[in-house]
Structure 1
């Protein structure tokens, strides 16, 4: 799934809507292959309205939009899919709700969860956090060795997540991942276009190193 190569998970930080959408636009123009809209604090109404605006952008650049956790928002805006953690609805329930044609991503930190997710209908896994990150409440990192074990244990694609930056993603060579997921490395960089281009090129090299 080439859509998973450079996977942007959004962060609102202190952006107003215009600035937030502009970062996503530039990222999509310059190599991001998938966008996951993550809104932990927004009301349902605000999340829905923002998702509509983001989907207009991602559709323009033919980039799939994934909604974090919220199946209702995913269906309401006809996003490409939804990504869930281990504290959300059961995977099989989410699959039944969204149908077989939408993407279902599931977070996994160990081999057992990864296998469970695959059997329950996940299309891909997000594995991490590989490095410490302020984005996630759980500070316990997932080792590169565990990442490799998960990749070997399942047949669905695996995306590495958590604290990934241009300076440290080279450590993911020969792990078998399908792509990387970043948040602050793109959302907070001074030059989104250049950063996205460099990350895309580096990630393609890393993915190719498995072959």
Structure 2
């Protein structure tokens, strides 16, 4: 009897987690398509759950948007770590990371989430740690790729941060993914060492990267 009860509880927890993941995934897609004002009923419908299930997981719109922001940041950390672990060198890791940022629609999500939840998305120790992980990964890939002679020297880590949120407009009714993929390859070609004349201005620095990803500098003595 007790064993059956435990199994039932485990199954309920798994179902609850599955529903939560479905809701967050649906919300992320709809944010890209329609923006932060998308009806929550539409989110529930796209997730395949009832509106009551959505509200049990997320009592209001801000709670759902914050969950999307946190989930996206976790995906970004995983993307950076996987690229570094699986690619043969820093250049290929950096390219895979930037392509993944485009596939995650980082540009659209940042533009739509940040103005709405600017302070909330920057609060919390867990979010700070994830942001720091992304910052460390970008610094590592940038520095190593330049040391290997693959990445041009007039690119700074802050420049890579800007490319992480690149977004390409596509007219209504036309698929945006092929256009974004093509633009990303154009940008990656331009990052290659010896790919063209010197860039205007100066490279954006480590500090620019930290400000862009919202990681506070440690206090100096």
TM-score, length-normalised on structure 1? Answer: 0.26
Q: Which has the higher contact order (CA 8 A, sep 6+)?
A: 1
- More helix by percentage: 2
TM-score, length-normalised on structure 2? Answer: 0.25
- More strand by percentage: 1
Greater radius of gyration (CA): 2
